[in-house]
Structure 1
Amino acid sequence: MLIKRSLKQVLATVAAAAAAVVALPASADAASTVVIRNQNSWQCLAVPGGSLANDAKLIQWTCGSTNTPGDQNWQFVNSGDNFMLKNQRSGKCLAIPGGSTGNGVQAIQWTCNGGKDQLWIPTGANGLRNIATNKCLAIPNGSTAAGAKAIQWNCTGGKEQAWSALG
C-alpha cells in the first residue's frame, strides 16, 4: 500500500533518523526508498531505461510501469540543512548539470558528490529547489505525457513543480 507523505514529513523523518545513526559512515543512509510523483501529471521521476551512466537525462514516467527495477526509486540522503536524492538502481544523485542557472535545463543523474548542484531543499508548495541554481524541479508546460523532461524553472508554486514522496 502506498502512503502519501509530504516532502517536509519525509525530511523530518530523515533528519530524525540521521541524528540517531551519527556513528554510521557518511555513505550510510537512514531514509526509506520512495517514488517521487509529480502532483500535476501523477507520473514519477525516472531514469530512462534504468541507465547507470552519468549525465542520463531524467524524465517523468508512468509510476510502476517500468521493467527496470529501481529506476523510479529514490532515497532522501540528509546533507546538513539540505538533502540529495539518490536513485536506488544507479546509486547516482539528481543534479542540475554544472549548476547551470538557465530555465529549461534538464535534470540529470550524476555520481553523488555533495556538490551544490545535487543539493535540494523543499519549498512551501511541495516543490524541490536546487541550492546551486535557486530554481525548482518541474515538468515543462504541465505536460502529463510519459517521457516528458524533468527540468528546472523559476519557482512558481505551480502544480507542475509540486512533488509527493510515496513509499
Structure 2
Amino acid sequence: LSNSGQEAAARTFNAAIPGIVQSKANSGKHVHLVDMHSKLTTGDLIDGIHPTANGYDKMAAAWYAALQSVPGSIGQSGGGTPSATPTSSANAIRGVGSGRCLDVTGVSQVNGTQVQIWDCNGQSNQQWTQTSAGELRVYGGKCLDVNGGGTADGTSVIIWDCNGQNNQQWRFNSDGTITAVGANKCLDVPNYSTANGVKLQIWTCNGQNNQKWTRV
C-alpha cells in the first residue's frame, strides 16, 4: 500500500494471521498461509492498492511456490525436476543447550528476517518442515537460509523465499547438529547463550550443545 497509514494497519493485521492459520491447522483444518504482502512493492501497484501485470505475475509465482510445498496440491510437470516434498511433518526444533526453539523473529514473513531462539510456543514461526531437497521450510514457502550464501563463521541465518540454492540446504546429523550444506558449518547459538532473542549464525562445527538440536 502506498499510504503509510494503510500500510501500518495492514502490517498489524497481517501479523495476526499466521497464528490464526496455525490454530485452524492444529484443529485439523486443511489450511495453508500464502503471504502476498511481502511479495509486492509499491512499484507493483497501479493505483497504490491494485497490482500491475507484473504484480500479478509475482502473486502467481507465490501461489505456485505454495502449491509446490503442500503434498498432493500440484503434480510434477512433464519431464521437469520434481518439486521439493516434505519428508516429515512440521515440527519445532529445540536447542539442546538453551531449551528454546528455532524461531522467526516477530512472526515475520519478510525476506531477510533473522532467526533466533525463543521460548517454544507452538506458533507458526516455530514450525519447520524438512523437504526432500534438504530445505527447512516455514510458512510453506520460506526457507532457512544462510545470508548471502556466506561461508564465514558468524554469518547470520535468515528466512528467504525458497529457491533451491545450497545455502538453503541443511543436513541433520546423528550427533544432533544441523549442517549448512553450502558452507559446511553448523547452525549455532552465539556464545552458548540461552536468552530469548539471540540471533543465530553458522559456525565451524565443534560438537558443543549450542550447536545441537532436537525435533519436538
Shorter-chain-normalised TM-score: which range? 0.7 to 0.9
Aligned length: 138
- Give the aligned residue type for 2:109: L
Considering fraction of residues, name the structure with more helix. Answer: 2
Give the match for residue 85 of structure 1: 136
Give the match for residue 130 of structure 2: 76
Report deviation, 1:30. 4.5
What CA deviation, in whole Å up to 9, does each residue of 1:14-38 have, x standing for no partner? xxxxxxx8x9541543520100000
The structure having more radius of gyration, on CA atoms, is 2
Considering fraction of residues, name the structure with more strand. Answer: 1
Q: Which SS does the other structure have where 1:129 is aligned?
A: strand
- Give the aligned residue type for 1:75: T
Q: Which SS does the other structure have where 1:46 is aligned?
A: strand
Query: RMSD value over aligned CA atoms?
Result: 1.8
Structure with more contact order per residue of length (Cα contacts < 8 Å, sep ≥ 6): 1
TM alignment of 1:1-150, pairs within 5 A: 24-25=75-76, 26-64=83-121, 69-79=123-133, 83-87=134-138, 89=139, 91-150=141-200
Task: Out of 139-148 and 118-127, give the one that drifted further.
Answer: 118-127
The whole-number CA distance in structure 1 between the counterparts of 2:158 and 2:140 is: 12
Does structure 2 retain, via aligned residues, the 8 Å contact 1:130–1:137?
yes
TM-score normalised by structure 1 residue count? 0.77
- Give the aligned residue type for 1:32: S
TM-score normalised by structure 2 residue count? 0.60
The whole-number CA distance in structure 1 between the counterparts of 2:150 and 2:208 is: 22
Does structure 2 retain, via aligned residues, the 8 Å contact 1:50–1:90?
no
Q: Which SS does the other structure have where 1:33 is aligned?
A: coil
